[in-house]
Structure 1
Amino acid sequence: MMSVAFDTLAYVKRLEQGGVPRETAVMQAEALADAIDQTLATKQDLLNTQTAVEQKVDATRTDLRREIDNVRADMKLGLTETRGEFRVEIEKAKTSMITWLVTLTVLATAAQIASRAFLH
Structure 2
Amino acid sequence: MNWLLVVVGGMIGAPLRHLTDQTLRKRYGTDFPWGILTVNVVGCLILGVLTGAVTAGAASSHTQLFLGTGLCGALTTYSTFSYETLRLAEGGMRFYAVANALGSVVAGLGAAFVGVAVAEALWL
TM-score (ref. length: structure 1) = 0.26
Q: Which has the higher contact order (CA 8 A, sep 6+)?
A: 2
Larger radius of gyration: 1
